[in-house]
Amino acid sequence: MSNIPDLNIDRVAELARIALTPAEKAEFSAQLGEVLKHVEQLKQLDVDGVEPTAHAFAVENVWADDEAQAGLSVEDALRNAPAQRDNMVVVPKVVE
């Protein structure tokens, strides 16, 4: 019996930018199918007219004064870069 037919693992992994092995795809599809079956229960509830909660205590428009403040130094910001040159992060060529 298939679980949730529309969890297209190839498409979702592509959206998530994660390469998965065929074994991972099979395992995750089955496991997430079980989880999705469980969460189907939410469809039993009538939520018409209920406002969604994004944060338990919503705070809106938190502004900071427009004042320049010291940030990370270039050295600190690049300290964990996997590859760097001339104060920049190095990546493979993007534009041919």
Partner 1 sequence: MADGILFSTLTALANRLAAGELSAVDITQAFIDRTTAVDGRVRAFNSVNPEDALAQAKAADERRAADQSRGALDGLPIALKDVIAVKDQPLTASSKMLEHFVSPYDATVTQKLKSAGSVLWGRANLDEFAMGSSTENSAFGATANPYDLTRVPGGSSGGSAAAVAAGEAIASLGSDTGGSIRQPAAFCNVVGLKPTYGLVSRYGLAAFASSLDQIGTFTRTVEDAAVLLGGIAGHDPRDSTSFKTEVPDYRAALAERKGPWKLGVPKEYFGVGLDPEVGAAIEQAIAFYREQGCEIKEVSLPHTDYCLSTYYIIATAEASSNLARYDGVRYTHRSAEAKSVEDIYFKSRQEGFGPEVKRRIILGTYVLSSGYYDAYYLRAQKVRTLIRQDFLNAYREVDAILTPTTPTPAFKAGEKADPLAMYLSDIYTIGVNLAGLPGISIPAGFSEAGLPIGLQLIGQPYAEADLLAIAHTYDSHHDWRSRRPVL
Using CB under 8 A as the criterion, which residues of the chain lie in contact with partner 1 when the complex forms?
Answer: 7, 9, 11-13, 15-20, 24, 27-28, 31-32, 34-36, 38-39, 41-43, 45, 47, 50-57, 59, 62, 64, 72, 76-77, 79-83, 89, 91-92, 94
CB of 81 to partner 1, least distance (A): 6
Instruction: Identify which of residues 56 and 68 has a Cβ nearer to partner 1 in the complex.
Output: 56
CA atoms 19, 35, 41, 6: torsion sign: positive
Q: How far is the CB of 66 from partner 1 (least distance, A)?
A: 13
| Min dist. Cβ of residue 73 to partner 1 (A) | 8
- Rounded to the nearest 10 degrees, how much is the dihedral formed by the CA atoms of 41, 42, 48, 51? 170
Amino acid identity of residue 19, one-letter, is A
Cβ atoms 35, 7 nearer than 8 A? no
Contacts of 27 (CB under 8 A, 6+ apart): none
